[in-house]
Each structure stands twice: as C-alpha cells, then as structure tokens.
Structure 1
Amino acid sequence: MNLLINYPTKKISQNRKVNNLANKGMALEEMINRSNEYYKENDIAFITKRPTPIKVLKTDGNYKITDAVFLSASTLDYVGVFQGHYLDFEAKETSSKIGFPLSNLAQHQLESIELVIKHKGYSFVLVYLKAFEEIYLLDGNFILKAAQSNQKMIPIQDIRTHGIQVKQGYSILLDYIKAVRIAYFEK
C-alpha cells in the first residue's frame, strides 16, 4: 500500500492580495460574510448581514415563496457589536479608476450613517476598488462630509489618504475589524 500524505509546504503570507478570491468570483459581501463567521466563532465580534426586505406575492401549498418583490431598503447592509460598541456599515464595490462615486450610496443610506453617528455608534463604508484590488474602510463622517459638499466622487487619493486599508489576514479572509480598531479605538 502506497500512502501519500500532502503536508503543506508553502508558507502563506499574511498580506495576500484580496484578488485571490475576488478573481474566483467571490464578491465583497461574501468575503465580509465569511469574515463575520470567523469573528463570531472566535468571539471577536458579532456582526450580521441584514436581510433585504421582500414582499411575498405568491406561495405554493407548502408555504414556499413562488413570487416576491424587493422592498426598498431602509438601513445599511451590516449591523453588529464589537467590544461593546454598535457597528452599522455598508459594503460597496466600484470598477472606477478615478474614485468612489457617491451615487453608489442612496439617500436613505446616508441618513442611516448620520443617525448611527448621532447616537454614538460607529458607521462606515467598506469600499472595494476593483481596479486596484484594494479595500478601504471610509468613516461615516468622511462620507457625509463628501456628500454634503456636493462631490460626485471621492477621488482615489482621498480614499487612500483618509481611509484605512483592509488587508487579508492569515486565518481570516478579510480582517476589517483590524481597520475598525485603527479607525475608532487607537486614536
């Protein structure tokens, strides 16, 4: 009997590029969802994706939905708690090479960011710059200031200057909580 054991021989760098998974079709939200599972399993944070509200139009005899429509969203994508602090954030992707279009955020999302901050929670947007294979945490106050100044887009240089880059970790797909620590707890 010939038994082969494949031991890992390649050391995995902690600074692997996010595109390793993005190139395989994994969207930003899927990376965040998997990271959230890791945070929960390791008792780091409890963060969940809010379900998109739907209105059921038809069901079959077994209560299976056969027809439904999406209702307009009223809040941000993700909500949770980290070290006793409320987090509420949105995840967005852009293919633009010049910046993040503020039109990617709806008015109700900007209002949600504003309300969370007003009530002492932490609100931000995770922006995936596909063209550069980079992800940044942009603080809600920074987003609101850009929106209130009637900017159409946040330039790449401003994102890199004012945002916190989110890296892949060794054992976690996308360690955005590290960026949260830097943005809100290490100042």
Structure 2
Amino acid sequence: MINYPTKKISQNRKVNNLANKGMALEEMINRSNEYYKENDIAFITKRPTPIKVLKTDGNYKITDAVFLSASTLDYVGVFQGHYLDFEAKETSSKIGFPLSNLAQHQLESIELVIKHKGYSFVLVYLKAFEEIYLLDGNFILKAAQSNQKMIPIQDIRTHGIQVKQGYSILLDYIKAVRIAYFEK
C-alpha cells in the first residue's frame, strides 16, 4: 500500500487578532481597500504625500526628497455614491486618544469635507486594547473645539463605532461607515 501525502485541513479556523497580525493599521486598511475594490463594494485609495525630489541616482530612483506641504487626510474614496475622506491613527495610550495626533490642517480638512456634504472620520487603533473605532468627524471637531487634549476611552467606546475583523476581509470598516452614516 502506498501512502500518498495528504494535506490535512484544520476545521478550527481562527480569526487572528490585531496583535497576531503584526501589521500597522494603514496596511490593514490598504488590504481591506483591495478587497472592497475587487468585490465592487467601494473604491478607496491612500492619498500619496506630496514630495519634492532633490536628487536621483541617474536611473530615476529617488535618493533624496523632502515633503512639500502638509497633506490632507490619509484616505479618499467613494462608497455608494458618497465621498469619503478619512485619517488612520494609532495610539498606545490606555486612557484615550490624544487630539495632538491630529494636525490643525487635518482638522480643517475634516471640517471642509463635512461642510461640502462628504463623510469624514478618523479610524483610531487603540493598541493597548486591540480595538479599532470609527470616530465621526463631527465628534472629533467638537472635542477639538472644546479644547480637550484627549478623547477618553469611555467616550470613544460610547460615541465611536467599533470596527470588526472578518474572515474574508481583514478590517471591515465599511460596515462601520454604513452604521455611522446610512442606518440613521
């Protein structure tokens, strides 16, 4: 009798948590964006930071460059005909999200997007708790305008929408977008 090698498939399929993934929030978002595009759910891209090339190596490879200006928010896209513009931030703090993580020009971008009827928000990864939340732009602006230095964890959990991981999609933040803006 010949014993051919067979591949055993484990029936105990586990969802890896964020710590086990070992990847940054932006990488998780980028992979999720690929899934959304491939499955015709949404079209969202990472906005490149504008740079000025100072030196190349002769083969058009950049060897020295500087950032031109402060960029706006990290991601831009369209979901169900609606404009999305959002930022991704991580914090190791166990007490809240420091508003100093958002620059003034980013707060201004959030405000302008909302003014022009787009949806703007911040995805916040609370590393200490391995939790990710969508915080609506209006909530962020209200906190910043009240001169808070930090949004407490309890406020994030109360006013934010937790972003869950899934089997087929790494980080399903569009589900949180649906809850925040379409299921009111």
1:49-79 alpha-carbon deviations (Å, 9 max, x no partner)? 0011111000122221111112332310000
The range that moved more, 30-39 or 67-76, is: 67-76
C-alpha offsets along residues 10-33 of structure 1, whole Å, 9 cap, x if unaligned?
999999998734444300000000
Q: List structure 1 segments (4+ residues) > 6 angstroms apart after TM superposition.
A: 4-19
Offset of 1:8 from its aligned partner? Answer: 15
Indicate how the Cα distance of structure 1 residues 168 and 55 shifts in structure 2: closer, same or farther if over 3 A, else same. Answer: same
- Aligned with 2:81 (options 74, 77, 84): 84
158-167 or 52-61, larger mean C-alpha shift: 52-61
CA contact (8 A) 2:90 2:126 kept: yes
Task: Give the 3 Å change call, closer, same or farther, for CA 172–136 of structure 1 in structure 2.
Answer: same
Deviations 1:138-179 (A, max 9, x none): 000000000000000000000000000000012000000000
Residue pair 2:100, 2:149 contacting (<8 A) in 1 also = yes
Unaligned stretches of 5+ residues in structure 2: none
Work out which structure has the larger RCO, using CA pairs closer than 8 Å and 6 or more positions apart in sequence.
1
1:18 — aligned with what? 15
Q: How does 1:1-187 map to 2 (within 5 A)?
A: 20-187=17-184
Distance 1:146 1:10, change over 3 A: farther
Q: Contact 2:15–2:167 (CA<8 Å) still a contact in 1?
A: no
TM-score by length of 2: 0.90
Change (3 A) 1:51 1:116: same
Q: Work out whether residues 45 and 77 of structure 2, in 8 Å CA contact, stay in contact via their aligned partners in 1.
A: yes
**C-alpha displacement of 1:88:** 0.1
User: How has the CA–CA distance of structure 1 residues 6 and 17 changed in structure 2, closer, same or farther, with 3 Å as cutoff?
Assistant: farther
Listed as ranges, the gaps of 5+ residues in structure 1 are none
CA distance in 2, matches of 1:185, 1:113: 19
Comparing 145-154 with 55-64, which one deviates more in the overlay? Answer: 55-64
TM-score w.r.t. the length of structure 1 is: 0.89
Which deviates more from structure 2 when the two are superposed, residues 73-82 or residues 115-124?
A: 73-82
What percent identity do the matched residue pairs reach? 99
* Number of equivalenced pairs: 184
Contact 1:18 1:133 in 2 (8 A): no
